[in-house]
Structure 1
Amino acid sequence: MWLEELRRRERGELRAPRFEALSRSRRAASLALSNRKELATPHHGAVKSLQVDLTEGRYLLSGASDGSAAIFDLKNATEYEAGFIAKHRNILLVDRQHEHGHKFVVSAAIWYPVDTGLFVTASFDTYVKVWDTNSTQVVMDFKMPGKVYSAAMSPIATTHMLIAAGSADVQVRLCDIASGAFTHTLSGHHDGIMSLEWSNSSEWILMSGGCDGAIRFWDIRRAGCFLVLDQLRCQLGKRPPFLDSSMEKDQKNLGPSPSSKSYSVQQRTGSRKKQSKTLQKSQTPARGMQQRVHPGMSSSQNRTTAHYGAVTGLRTTTDGMHLLSSGSDSRLRIWDIDSGCNTLVNFEAMRLHPSKPLQLAVTDDPSLVFVPCMGSIKAYNMWSGTTFQTFRGHYDHVNCCYYNSQDQELYTGSNDRQILVWSPSTPALTEMEDDDKRRGGFAADEDNWSD
């Protein structure tokens, strides 16, 4: 198949973007445990968070339950074993021995999106700390009211440097690196916030998943959430044929018929006096009448749930059109961000950890979704829900996985304190050898030359 696509590209039948997309999807589908790259982790506890920097795609940042955070150089190996196994050791380590290190579990470790000079760690010791990579010193820290479960920064932000932090408290707090203070809080959840995710299409949109089973969409420029996902509000497929909002806009654009214009004018002129009287009455609030509720308060009264249990993980696709969520009910759901509907993709049976955050991963296509399922990682087809492949290599529960789109590698962290690398295999050589054998290729030619 790969050889056929290559020949179609040589003949000009296949365009370059399409050929690149096909090759990327093929490499992502051929992931296997790497036998040429190994990460020697210095962690003495479970690996909880993984992320590769967004600028170079070279440095891997990890956080562990022993309160440590480490950085690995994925391009340059520290040493080689047996001549060809590249072993990568940490080039930076911040642990409890550091004077400003975390005392408890590092629940989230994220890179500063602009460059690799800063990284952020969040911990159960109620602190969110910003570190200088070069000096390994804390630039600033933020004290939270409870255990910090998650932290996130927008990968596309150009006008703000906000860190969204979710803790055991019911509020999402935004920490500003520029000022070193909290800008504001987002109230609406009824329990702790376990997962956070910024939108890939707008720098102002933040999504949060709480232990109350709700997924809320926030516009950080205004008070209150503007959307709460409902698992009962659904659609079949990627997009519905017609959205309710588009139907309402079309009805407004049609306008009234000519026969109804005269009636509407008479109705308006005759009802002006009545409207003035009602306005005067509405200015004085009557007893028993509900007053206008603040948007933040009204959004907090919405008890709609996206999962039957805590929302343990959130991940948006690279195009910013869909959101993946995992819950303690062992369900994985795909949401259409534009309509806010559940796409009803029925994923095959999985077993998820019910009481801890999970880090999901998705390919750029997006064609595959990687989900930590207890002691293994399952790769699901995005829109069919079938299990494409199951990765087994860890000796304990898997907590996090991260897909590096530049190297097309998958990194997974587990309670066994290990970080495994899953690299794409090279089926092109085997396909070429099989094709040569079918045609009596290089081997037959060499025999003829020897004669």
Structure 2
Amino acid sequence: MHCLGVQSCQKVHNIKDYPPSKFVINLLAGSNDGSVAIYDLEVFSQTPRETCSIIASVNRNSNRAHTSICSWIQWHVSDTGIFTTSSRDKTLKVWDTNNMKPVDKYQFDRAVFQHSLAPFCAKTSIIAVATACSNAYLVDLISGTKMQQLRGHKAGVICVQWSPTDPNVLATSGQDGQIIIWDIRSAKTQLTALGDNSSGSSASAAHSHAITGLKFTEDGFYLISLDTEGYTNLWSGRTMCRMRNFKTRKLTGNLVIRAVGLDFAYHISSPNETANIFEFCDM
């Protein structure tokens, strides 16, 4: 991972590179002020810090920019001529990369915390959206409509993550400490709630605190979840049972998890503007 010297005085809140299967040249960055920029990563040396030039940007004063913090940003899975952003201003935007203009906009009732394009987006064109209300939403890019609401959480939904192996399976996590696995072909019935039991008590939740990080490993064998108190759980992607858990430190800020097998790292954009990487091997 390269430490970027961002050519702006604004704090960068969310950064995303191309999908892992792509050769990384450009990097998307969304800022606390709602602005968006694309950075050139093609030229770099072996020094630990680099300053990368901005290829294209939309500043905070533009009517194209979000009016609040850019909470999530992502390239289209199969077409880098398209990227998506979501914001605490209650919107999800679909952008034309070449013109740096939004070509579609979706309005929600509450702040948007995260969104995720299905890994099979070339076939399905579905975006899952996590908002501050207790529902997750599915948006169809082809029809331009909100096609489904997923009801099951008792508080705001923070994370949405698609299974990398099954185009119909979506995981969501929220402020209620729950992780819910959905089959999107049947929005009324969830597949399972991780950590659930028949007691109905708070102990039945996957975590005792809000879950701000959720990620399937690339092979789909495991699901990793992190909460605001620093507790990390490893779940079986097949049985959805908890396999291991441990505590790191109390976490603040936006979480971006990269996971391969049982080795994973997460990046935290913290209030003091520092980025931290934690790697856990042989857990």
TM range (shorter): 0.7 to 0.9
Q: Is 1:372 paired with 2:268? A: yes
Structure 1 or 2: more strand by fraction: 2
Deviations 1:76-135 (A, max 9, x none): 46xx9x9x9863111111222222211110000111001210100001111100010001
CA–CA separation in structure 2 for the residues paired with 1:378 and 1:202? 29
Change (3 A) 1:40 1:307: same
Match of 2:18 among 38, 41, 53: 53
Check the 8 A contact 2:5/2:50 in 1, yes or no: no
Partner of 1:394: none
CA–CA separation in structure 2 for the residues paired with 1:65 and 1:165? 19
CA–CA separation in structure 1 for the residues paired with 2:282 and 2:214? 17
User: How many corresponding residue pairs?
Assistant: 274
Match of 1:102 among 49, 59, 66: 66
Q: SS in structure 2 opposite 1:175?
A: strand
CA–CA separation in structure 2 for the residues paired with 1:167 and 1:370? 22
Q: What pairs up with 1:338-349 in 2 under 5 angstroms?
A: 338-347=238-247, 349=248
CA–CA separation in structure 2 for the residues paired with 1:373 and 1:129? 22
Q: SS in structure 1 opposite 2:109?
A: coil
CA–CA separation in structure 2 for the residues paired with 1:376 and 1:39? 10
CA–CA separation in structure 2 for the residues paired with 1:200 and 1:141? 26
Change (3 A) 1:310 1:365: closer
CA–CA separation in structure 2 for the residues paired with 1:366 and 1:50? 23
Q: What pairs up with 1:397-412 in 2 under 5 angstroms?
A: none
Q: Is 1:359 paired with 2:256? A: yes
Deviations 1:392-439 (A, max 9, x none): xxxxxxxxxxxxxxxxxxxxxxxxxxxxxxxxxxxxxxxxxxxxxxxx
Q: SS in structure 2 opposite 1:190?
A: coil
Q: Is 1:383 paired with 2:282? A: yes
Partner of 2:42: 75
Q: Is 1:133 paired with 2:82? A: no
CA–CA separation in structure 2 for the residues paired with 1:367 and 1:186? 31
Partner of 1:245: none
CA–CA separation in structure 1 for the residues paired with 2:66 and 2:217? 32
Partner of 1:248: none
Q: Is 1:326 paired with 2:223? A: no
CA–CA separation in structure 2 for the residues paired with 1:318 and 1:324? 11
Q: Which runs of 5+ in 1 are unaligned?
A: 1-30, 234-300, 385-451
CA–CA separation in structure 2 for the residues paired with 1:48 and 1:140? 22
Partner of 2:172: 208
Structure 1 residue 357: Cα displacement: 4.0
Counterpart residue type for residue 258 of structure 2: A
Check the 8 A contact 1:53/1:59 in 2, yes or no: yes
Check the 8 A contact 1:315/1:361 in 2, yes or no: yes
Counterpart residue type for residue 192 of structure 2: L
Partner of 1:179: 143
Structure 1 or 2: more helix by fraction: 1
Structure 1 residue 45: Cα displacement: 3.1
CA–CA separation in structure 2 for the residues paired with 1:116 and 1:210? 30
Match of 1:315 among 190, 215, 220: 215
CA–CA separation in structure 2 for the residues paired with 1:115 and 1:373? 27
Q: SS in structure 2 opposite 1:217?
A: strand
Structure 1 residue 158: Cα displacement: 4.0
Larger radius of gyration: 1
Identity of aligned residues (%): 27
Check the 8 A contact 1:44/1:66 in 2, yes or no: no
Aligned CA RMSD, in angstroms, stands at 2.7
Q: SS in structure 1 opposite 2:52?
A: strand
Deviations 1:280-323 (A, max 9, x none): xxxxxxxxxxxxxxxxxxxxx89731111111111111111101
Counterpart residue type for residue 183 of structure 2: D
Counterpart residue type for residue 377 of structure 1: N
Match of 1:114 among 71, 78, 102: 78
Q: Is 1:152 paired with 2:116? A: yes
Structure 1 residue 75: Cα displacement: 1.0
CA–CA separation in structure 2 for the residues paired with 1:302 and 1:144? 31
Counterpart residue type for residue 255 of structure 2: L
Q: SS in structure 2 opposite 1:159?
A: helix
Q: SS in structure 1 opposite 2:114?
A: strand
